[in-house]
């Protein structure tokens, strides 16, 4: 089920909210059970058969969690943890990477392996990584959960189930199990609906409109058409803004929906395009995934504890696997590898170059602006591979960005975007919203267990703040109505495919 659909907003959400708060008056345990069942309904709305896979994963991991809690010694617990993680990764491997592996093998001479048509379950990476994190936390003694219904809700809680954030047991379950959560609070409803409305507007009014132009450019590149310099850069910028508002919109909607139930989800998105370095970018983009990769992959690999050489190797491995997490395609590996290289260069710059006074001549304001611009260009460059259908299409678009297409190309697929004044006004609006206005957390003063990135020395501090006022409600109501009027086509979130 999509957050941006009439059936969700006008049927599912009111019914689940009413059921949760009404049953909570009689029994908080019953309310938890009903919310867990409703979350399963949400997941299986379009493909009910996938609920069986989700339940099988939950039952298996719950069994391993109980076994870890009851393990007689550390060695037994460690073997159980390794087996559990291996089975989880194997599950992802079959559904997400088996087809890619077989197609890659068939590219070799003499190979003709059958390639089954495997349906990728929605959110498999998110609910699997959530459970892996829980198992590791149980092994480390940071989580204790014995009730199956509680665990079922922890995994399936619908605001985060499909596209994150990746949550930890200690962040969410104490809130859900608190009897006070079952009491309807108007402040939470007002704040939650406001944040949800902002996220919905980002998705349907901004991201979906950028997608039309981005899709046209990347389709032309897929077809091998050489694009002009201006057309190529506009297409890449359009996708860069589309992905920003799409993922930011989903993150806001998830936070707002959860607040309706009185539960604060961790922040997953904090103005990443304002980052002054790639290091800072990954502290702001998909923050819960970054923390997962840091805690459960980079640090176990050795982190920076074994010298700079090993540190750079660990960074490269972490980002390659992070890229592969996003999808079974060589383009995602290239994207992850590029960010690994960017991070290595960034750390090397910080460790070596900035020690010399000659590089400190530029004023802090100019230096920060140049750093933000360079970081943004690097991120845009990598997004080309992230979005492209294959490496060949990405290279075609790169050639266009480097000016190999000397003139505009008239095709039925793509128009001369460079001279499309209304669309350029729309692009300008998107850039203004990203760089000149505060983000959702700043406007709504929303904070939680996740530490937000510190503002850079010269980053502007705005004082636009949400208040529960009738005029603010009227404005957001108009935004909501405008967003609802744009539900003219099915538009999934980009991170649903991961």
pLDDT digits (tens, 9 = 90+) for 203-255: 999 999 999 889 999 999 999 888 888 888 899 999 999 999 999 999 999 99
Residues 6+ positions from 103 with CB-CB distance below 8 Å: 115
On whether the CB atoms of residues 378 and 196 are closer than 8 A, the answer is: no
- Judged against a pLDDT cut of 80, whether residue 70 lies above it is answered with yes
| Residue 240 pLDDT | 96
- Judged against a pLDDT cut of 90, whether residue 349 lies above it is answered with no
Query: Comparing 145 with 463, which gets the higher pLDDT?
Result: 145
| Residue 376 pLDDT | 95
- Alpha-carbon span 200 to 113, nearest angstrom: 44
Find, among 266, 278, 217, the residue nearest to 242 by Cα.
217
Q: DSSP string covering 123-162, please?
A: THHHHHHHHHHHHHHHHTTS-----HHHHHHHHH-HHHHT
Is 486 annotated as catalytic? no
- Alpha-carbon span 474 to 306, nearest angstrom: 57
Residues 148-182 pLDDT 10s: 999 999 999 999 988 878 888 888 889 998 888 88
- Judged against a pLDDT cut of 90, whether residue 362 lies above it is answered with no
The label of the residue with tokens 């998110």 reads 126
Q: How many CA atoms lie within 13 A of 26 on its CB side?
A: 8
Residues 6+ positions from 7 with CB-CB distance below 8 Å: 1
With 0-12 / 13-18 / 19 or more C-beta atoms within 10 angstroms meaning exposed / middle / buried, residue 471 is: exposed
| Residue 411 pLDDT | 44
| Residue 356 pLDDT | 60
The active-site residue out of 160, 326, 339, 347 is 326
Q: What are the CA-CA distances from residue 393 to residues 97, 242, 366, 387, 420 (Å)?
A: 21, 19, 36, 10, 24
| Residue 367 pLDDT | 67
Query: Comparing 485 with 421, which gets the higher pLDDT?
Result: 485
| Residue 422 pLDDT | 81
Q: Which two tokens stand for residue 348?
A: 């090397």
When mean pLDDT is compared across 63-67, 106-110, 484-488, the lowest value belongs to 106-110
> What percent of the chain shows pLDDT beyond 90?
49
| CA-based radius of gyration for the chain | 23
pLDDT, mean over the chain: 85
Tell me the helix, strand and coil percentages in the chain, rounded to 5.
Answer: 70, 0, 30
Stretch 61-73: mean pLDDT: 91
- Alpha-carbon span 268 to 453, nearest angstrom: 11
Q: At what angle do helices 330-351 and 391-401 cross, to 10 degrees?
A: 50
Q: How many CA atoms lie within 13 A of 489 on its CB side?
A: 9
- Alpha-carbon span 84 to 275, nearest angstrom: 37
| Residue 364 pLDDT | 53
| Residue 449 pLDDT | 39
Q: What are the CA-CA distances from residue 225 to residues 244, 402, 412 (Å)?
A: 26, 15, 12
The model's confidence at residue 424, banded by pLDDT at 50, 70 and 90, is confident
Long-range CB contact pairs, 150-155, < 8 A, 24+: 150/32, 150/176, 150/177, 151/58, 151/62, 151/65, 152/36, 152/58, 152/62, 153/32, 153/35, 153/36, 153/39, 154/130, 155/54, 155/58, 155/61, 155/127, 155/130, 155/131
The model's confidence at residue 310, banded by pLDDT at 50, 70 and 90, is confident
Query: Comparing 194 with 352, which gets the higher pLDDT?
Result: 194
| Residue 57 pLDDT | 94
């Amino acid at each position: 089920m999509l957050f941006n659909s009439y059936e969700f907003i006008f049927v599912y959400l009111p019914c689940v909210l009413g059921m949760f708060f009404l049953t909570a008056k009689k029994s908080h345990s019953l309310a938890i059970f009903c919310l867990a069942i409703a979350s399963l309904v949400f997941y299986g709305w379009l493909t009910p058969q996938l609920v069986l896979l989700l339940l099988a994963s939950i039952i298996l991991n719950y069994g391993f969690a109980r076994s870890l809690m009851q393990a007689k010694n550390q060695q037994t617990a460690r073997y159980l943890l390794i087996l559990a993680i291996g089975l989880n990764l194997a599950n992802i491997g079959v559904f997400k990477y088996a087809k890619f592996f077989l197609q890659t093998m068939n590219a070799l001479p003499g190979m003709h392996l059958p390639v089954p048509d495997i349906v990728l379950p929605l959110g498999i990476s998110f609910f699997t990584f959530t459970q892996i994190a829980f198992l590791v936390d149980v092994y480390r003694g940071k989580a204790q959960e014995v009730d199956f219904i509680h665990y079922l809700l922890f995994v399936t809680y619908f605001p985060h189930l499909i596209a994150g954030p990746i949550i930890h047991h200690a962040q969410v379950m104490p809130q859900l199990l608190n009897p006070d959560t079952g009491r309807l609070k108007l402040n939470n409803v007002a704040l939650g609906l406001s944040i949800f409305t902002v996220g919905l507007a980002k998705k349907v009014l901004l991201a979906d409109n950028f997608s039309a132009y981005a899709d046209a450019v990347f389709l032309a590149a897929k077809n091998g058409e050489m694009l002009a310099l201006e057309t190529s850069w506009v297409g890449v910028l359009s996708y860069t803004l589309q992905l920003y508002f799409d993922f930011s919109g989903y993150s806001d909607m998830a936070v707002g929906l959860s607040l309706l139930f009185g539960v604060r989800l961790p922040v997953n998105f904090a103005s990443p395009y304002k980052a002054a370095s790639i290091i800072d970018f990954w502290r702001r983009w998909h923050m819960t995934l970054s923390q997962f990769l840091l805690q459960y992959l980079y640090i176990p690999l050795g982190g920076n504890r074994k010298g700079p050489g090993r540190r750079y190797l660990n960074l490269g491995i972490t980002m390659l696997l992070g890229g592969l997490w996003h999808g079974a395609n060589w383009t995602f590996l290239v994207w992850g590898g590029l960010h690994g290289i960017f991070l290595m260069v960034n750390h090397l710059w910080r460790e070596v170059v900035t020690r010399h006074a000659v590089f400190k001549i530029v004023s802090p304001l100019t230096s920060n602006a140049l750093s933000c611009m360079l970081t943004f260009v690097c991120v845009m460059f990598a997004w080309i591979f992230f979005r492209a259908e294959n490496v060949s299409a990405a290279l075609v678009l790169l050639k266009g960005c480097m000016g190999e297409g000397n003139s505009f190309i008239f095709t039925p697929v793509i128009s001369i975007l460079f001279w499309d004044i209304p669309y350029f006004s729309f692009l300008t609006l998107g850039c203004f919203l990203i760089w000149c206005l505060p983000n959702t957390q700043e406007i709504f003063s929303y904070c939680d267990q996740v530490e937000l990135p510190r503002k850079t020395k010269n980053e502007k501090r705005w004082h636009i703040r949400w208040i529960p006022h009738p005029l603010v409600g009227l404005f957001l109501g108009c935004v909501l109505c405008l967003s609802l009027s744009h539900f003219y086509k099915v538009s999934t979130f980009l991170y649903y495919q991961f």
